[in-house]
Amino acid sequence: HEYGIIIYAHSSEYAFVSDYIMRNTSDSAICINAFRTVTITGNIIYGGHADFSVESRQTAVLGNFVENSSPGLYLNDLPKSGVVSVTITGNSLRDCGPAFVIHNVTQVNIANNTIAGTKGLPALNASATDDSFTIVNNQFLTGISHLKSTKVS
């Protein structure tokens, strides 16, 4: 079975999404709009789309496991909500292609993630990002570990 958005929240101060198991999402696994601070941690996502459609000033994606999803983690259009920072760390992604898709996002730190297999695609596909983009200490176990980045003005 394929399911649409599994978790949807709109307009509040804080969102904390933790310890869910999601399977075969056909749309965003998690959709959170108009929040100040969002933390997504300890979730398990198998198959489908692991899109995290998030609009918040501070976003942390920590310690999630994503398998066989395309893409692994997808963050899109965060600047329109006045984003201060995005941290993606401690996540494990297996057989996702690509592992990360980051579009139109500023001030991103991607660190200490484990990526195993990227289905022949870049581990990271980033576009329309600014210069405050940090990628450090990620571990690539198998697959292609190159990055694709396009800065759009």
Kindly report, residue by residue over 59-88, the tens digit of the pLDDT. Answer: 899 999 999 888 888 876 665 555 667 899
Q: What is the pLDDT of residue 35?
A: 78
> Does residue 31 carry a pLDDT above 90?
no
Least confident of 39-48, 66-75, 137-146: 137-146
What is d(CA 28, CA 4) in angstroms, rounded to the nearest whole number?
Answer: 7
Which of the pair, 112 or 125, is modelled with greater confidence? 112
Q: What is the pLDDT of residue 151?
A: 47
pTM here is 0.83
- The three-state secondary structure class of 144 is coil
> Does residue 37 carry a pLDDT above 80?
yes
Give me the mean pLDDT over the 133-145 stretch: 75
Query: What percentage of the chain has pLDDT greater than the value 70?
Result: 77
Overall residue count recorded for the chain in this entry: 153
Q: What is the mean pLDDT of the chain?
A: 78
Measured CA distances, 48 to 6, 80, 135 (Å) = 11, 26, 25
Cβ(139)–Cβ(111) below 8 Å: no
Question: 99 phi and psi, to 5 degrees?
Answer: -65, -45
Q: What is the pLDDT of residue 153?
A: 38
Q: What is the pLDDT of residue 62?
A: 96
Q: What letter would DSSP give residue 146?
A: -
Q: What letter would DSSP give residue 142?
A: E
- CB-based contacts of 25: which residues, under 8 Å, 6+ apart? 2, 3, 4, 5, 6, 45, 47, 48, 49, 50, 51
